Chains A and B, each alone.
Chain A
């Protein structure tokens, strides 16, 4: 389990990541989505303990990354961005070195290395120098370095960048096979990939978490209308009258005429309405021939764009202003707190004084009473 609590990373005045929080359960495959510079790699680097957050805590399997880095790092396999490798080592030597760095006992090392090499399909090149490999193979070597020794958590920064389509599918299948007993966090630009592999998506934009949900839910949440694209042969220009006969049509727009004189239309309907059958029969009535009819499906891409584009864009000055205001507010709060404390102390002092006075009087009274009693005795 990975818990990220109110984590921020600041470079000077610039926030690379601002106040993000999320939890990832064991065995989940989670995808980080975000534009370039959104803070995906920064977040991953903070989970691995490579960089320290400016604020907030990250807890991995019950251990604080900041306080028990060794315990955390033992359970993480990390494939950094840009596949850094030691170019003077061969594939096998590199993976062995990774195994040594990960404190895998000598007895198990050989088997672990061989397993990682086999899983990533590197047997044929295992004795080649890593610098002589193609980009796709370098990527795999980096992945092998991450999975050697079966760490419980895998953090993969853009694992399929630069691979050919066949390799992409292979690596995806490999990542899917980790599902049973690994927690996987991966970042990607390719949305279809994330929606295929991941059970959960975390969308990050400008250093903030915008959404955490399953890809399906995200896709659903953005569907407000259904769009139908039609190519028709309509010699008498009757098509647009169809709007009157089908009630759920909201809007028909003419998109253009093709070379063969067929016309293209985009039809917007209410959410979840499927008018394809109705459309077919009505068109037949009107004498309009449908050449092509296609329903647009909402994709994760739409969800992503909607979530990311809808966010307000602040200029640096505005951010500065906001920060300034926040600081002011903090100061004000502090002042108020101090005032309250002062008032409280004053009150306490007063009460203490009153109590002491009362005590004194009590003592006096009791003394006098004692004197009186003594006098009475005499």
Chain B
């Protein structure tokens, strides 16, 4: 698993995709940072992550769309799938590499925390709980994006489906309040308020595990239909 993670992580940084993701996120994040401070005079690190979650909804596919689609299109999936590595380690390796990029991105957002700390007194505990919740949301998003990527060899299709489903999930509760538990982004609301809610954490983690498993199953099944 480690070898695959290392290679995938390297690929993110060798191809511009990793930089595009981190750069795009931080660019939009800083725009929101400036806008909230100067236009609304709200000085709060955590609340920025509401916008962060919105950004994430749209740019997660940058990380995930190529995961398996590219390998399938180039034929390199033959190389990994005929190696003695198990499917689980392949999937987890790729997942962890994307998660690592996400962690780096979050680490960069601490710059904004440092700026606020210089002028005011933001709470580190709430900031960390927000970052933790945000990371869980990102993991859930990545696992879903990875699953979609394993379904098609066309990266654009993978990207569009991923964003489409994320947006649909976002507005699901508007249809019926019963659909609230399916809206990942709305579940994030509690974290920036300093609440660490077990039910939300469990939902994120189960969602992540579910789609990692589904990815493994898809790859397993493709063996017999390919």
Return the CB mask of A67-79 against B: 1 if under 8 Å, else 0: 0011001101010
Q: Which residue of B lies closest to A87 (CB)?
A: B74
Interface: B224 (CB within 8 A): yes
Residues of A within 8 A of B3 (CB): 97, 100-101
Interface: A281 (CB within 8 A): no
Interface: A54 (CB within 8 A): yes
Main secondary structure of the interface of B (DSSP, over half): helix
Q: Which of B41-95 contact A (CB under 8 A)?
A: 74-76, 78-86
Task: Quote the shortest CB–CB distance from A63 to chain B (angstroms).
Answer: 12
CB-based contact A51/B75 at 8 Å: no
Residues of A within 8 A of B86 (CB): 70
Residues of A within 8 A of B7 (CB): 86, 89, 97, 100
Closest 6 CB pairs of A and B: A84-B75, A100-B3, A101-B83, A80-B78, A73-B84, A52-B224
CB-based contact B74/A88 at 8 Å: no
Q: Which of A29-79 contact B (CB under 8 A)?
A: 45, 48-52, 54, 69-70, 73-74, 76, 78
Task: Quote the shortest CB–CB distance from A112 to chain B (angstroms).
Answer: 14
Number of A interface residues, CB 8 Å? 30
Residues on A facing B (Cβ under 8 Å): 45, 48-52, 54, 69-70, 73-74, 76, 78, 80-82, 84-89, 93, 97-98, 100-103, 145
Complex CA distance for A103 and B80, rounded to whole angstroms: 12
Q: Which of B11, B80, B82, B85 contacts A88 (CB 8 A)?
A: B11
Residues of B within 8 A of A54 (CB): 224
Interface: B121 (CB within 8 A): no
CB-based contact A103/B78 at 8 Å: no
Query: Which of the listed residues B4, B10, B79, B80 has the most CB atoms from chain A within 10 Å of its own CB?
Result: B79
CB-based contact B75/A76 at 8 Å: no
Residues of B within 8 A of A103 (CB): 84-85
CB-based contact A145/B79 at 8 Å: yes
CB-based contact A98/B79 at 8 Å: yes
* Further contacts, 10 of them, CB under 8 A, given A45-B78, A103-B84: A50-B81, A50-B223, A51-B224, A70-B86, A73-B83, A76-B82, A85-B74, A86-B74, A86-B76, A97-B7
CB-based contact B223/A78 at 8 Å: no
Interface: B199 (CB within 8 A): no
Task: Quote the shortest CB–CB distance from A96 to chain B (angstroms).
Answer: 9
Complex CA distance for A49 and B74, rounded to whole angstroms: 19
Q: A86-B76, A88-B11 are in contact. Are A78 and B224 (CB under 8 A)?
A: no
Q: A73-B84, A102-B84 are in contact. Are A80 and B15 (CB under 8 A)?
A: no
Return the CB mask of B99-120 against A: 1 if under 8 Å, else 0: 0000000000000000000000
Complex CA distance for A88 and B16, rounded to whole angstroms: 11
Number of B interface residues, CB 8 Å? 22
Residues of A within 8 A of B83 (CB): 73, 98, 101-102
Residues of A within 8 A of B84 (CB): 69-70, 73-74, 101-103
Q: Which residue of B lies closest to A77 (CB)?
A: B82
Complex CA distance for A86 and B86, rounded to whole angstroms: 20
CB-based contact A101/B80 at 8 Å: yes
Task: Quote the shortest CB–CB distance from A71 to chain B (angstroms).
Answer: 8
Complex CA distance for A81 and B78, rounded to whole angstroms: 10
Q: A74-B84, A86-B11, A103-B84 are in contact. Are A80 and B223 (CB under 8 A)?
A: no
Interface: B176 (CB within 8 A): no
Complex CA distance for A48 and B85, rounded to whole angstroms: 13
Interface: B178 (CB within 8 A): no
Query: Which of the listed residues B75, B80, B83 has the most CB atoms from chain A within 10 Å of its own CB?
Result: B83
Complex CA distance for A219 and B123, rounded to whole angstroms: 85
Interface: B14 (CB within 8 A): yes
Complex CA distance for A331 and B194, rounded to whole angstroms: 69
Task: Quote the shortest CB–CB distance from B78 to chain A (angstroms).
Answer: 4
Task: Quote the shortest CB–CB distance from B214 to chain A (angstroms).
Answer: 19
CB-based contact A73/B82 at 8 Å: yes
**7 cross-chain CB contacts under 8 A:** A49-B81, A50-B78, A51-B224, A84-B75, A89-B10, A98-B79, A101-B80
Q: Which residue of B lies closest to A42 (CB)?
A: B226
Residues of A within 8 A of B10 (CB): 89, 93
Task: Quote the shortest CB–CB distance from A198 to chain B (angstroms).
Answer: 22
Residues of B within 8 A of A76 (CB): 82
Task: Quote the shortest CB–CB distance from A146 to chain B (angstroms).
Answer: 9
Query: Which of the listed residues B3, B10, B11, B78 has the most CB atoms from chain A within 10 Å of its own CB?
Result: B78
Complex CA distance for A49 and B10, rounded to whole angstroms: 28
Q: Which of A70, A84, A93 contacts B79 (CB 8 A)?
A: A84
Residues of B within 8 A of A88 (CB): 11, 14-15
CB-based contact B75/A80 at 8 Å: yes
Task: Quote the shortest CB–CB distance from A280 to chain B (angstroms).
Answer: 57
Q: Which residue of B lies closest to A71 (CB)?
A: B84
Residues of B within 8 A of A93 (CB): 10
CB-based contact A51/B79 at 8 Å: no
Q: A84-B74, A86-B11, A88-B11 are in contact. Are A101 and B224 (CB under 8 A)?
A: no
Query: Which of the listed residues B7, B84, B223, B226 has the most CB atoms from chain A within 10 Å of its own CB?
Result: B84
Complex CA distance for A40 and B218, rounded to whole angstroms: 26
Residues of B within 8 A of A73 (CB): 82-84
Query: Which of the listed residues A52, A98, A100, A101 has the most CB atoms from chain B within 10 Å of its own CB?
Result: A101
Task: Quote the shortest CB–CB distance from A2 to chain B (angstroms).
Answer: 15
